[in-house]
Amino acid sequence: MTILQQILDEKVNKVAELKMKKATLNFDLPLYSLYDALIQKDTLQIIAEIKRASPSKGIIKANVDVVKQAQQYEAAGAACISVLTDEPFFKGSYEDLRKVAQAVSIPVLCKDFILDEIQIDYARANGASVILLIVAALESERLRELYTYANQMNLAILVEVHSVEEYERAHALGAKIIGINNRNLKNFEVDLKHTQTIAKAFSNNTDQVLVSESGIKNTEDAKMVSAYGASAILVGETLMKSENVEAALQMLAVKKVREVE
């Protein structure tokens, strides 16, 4: 069984648990626009991630002070903060999401494996302005239903793809913010060339923004994915492990130069 399948199987239990709770949710925390934060910028924008652990890397920084980390990201110029809320595999929580959302004034992304509307309700109730939908994890109809639901709640949606075929499915939805995961969620292999391959399919859709996700470590990587056509990068481990978050963010915020083919 792939790791993605293991995570999704576990998530079914989590969804049942959330539904059982029948909590009253308030949707009153402010919303910030991710699209506005990413479109038409001169420098590569950064979605900085709070990631305590991951199935591929194990513990990254289990006891991080999420509020402090988020405030450093915001002060250093991050466009958005991504917070993992999956507990079994990433050691995150909705509590982390809420604490971060209440501490900053930029969009916050609820990073999870969403299968059900209730997870979108919880994301919004805990301050997310953005949710992630992973094309590889959802059948077309479910993907469309969840996309529509989140859209109706005025949330932005980062639609994650890993192949040209998945990109076509995202495009067919009318997705405006597309995440290209350089890491294969089935075997954890990372290759920044995924951004290049998929960005080629995308090059005519100028009202879409591309986010290159995973495995970005240094200025060279940032320049490379920027040249491929990314407007933004989503960075976890490199920032979590850095002693100087501000310097790390600045080294990644390169000037955008699109490669002419």
Ligand X SMILES: O=P(O)(O)OC[C@@H](O)[C@@H](O)c1c[nH]c2ccccc12
Q: Measured from the CB of residue 54, what is the shortest distance to ligand X in angstroms?
A: 6
In 39-116, the DSSP E strands lie at 45-50, 53-54, 58-59, 80-84, 108-111
Catalytically annotated residues: 49, 51, 111, 160, 181, 213-214
Q: Which of 14, 80, 5, 93 is nearest to 52 (CA)?
A: 93
Q: Of 175-204, which residues contact ligand X (CB under 6 A)?
A: 181
Tokens of 44: 């590569």
Q: Of 147-176, which residues contact ligand X (CB under 6 A)?
A: 160
Q: Measured from the CB of residue 128, what is the shortest distance to ligand X in angstroms?
A: 14
How many chain residues touch ligand X (CB under 6 A)? Answer: 14
Tokens of 70: 């988020």
- Considering the rule CB under 6 A, would residue 80 count as an interface residue with ligand X? no
CA dihedral for 125, 131, 136, 139, sign (positive or negative): positive
CA dihedral 92, 29, 17, 131 (to 10 degrees): -60
Q: Which stretch binds ligand X (CB under 6 A): 65-73, 117-125, 138-146, 233-241?
A: 233-241
- Considering the rule CB under 6 A, would residue 111 count as an interface residue with ligand X? yes
Q: By CB under 6 A, name the one of 175, 215, 230, 252 that touches ligand X.
A: 215
What does the binding site for ligand X look like in residue numbers (CB under 6 A)? 49, 51, 111, 160, 181, 213-216, 234-238
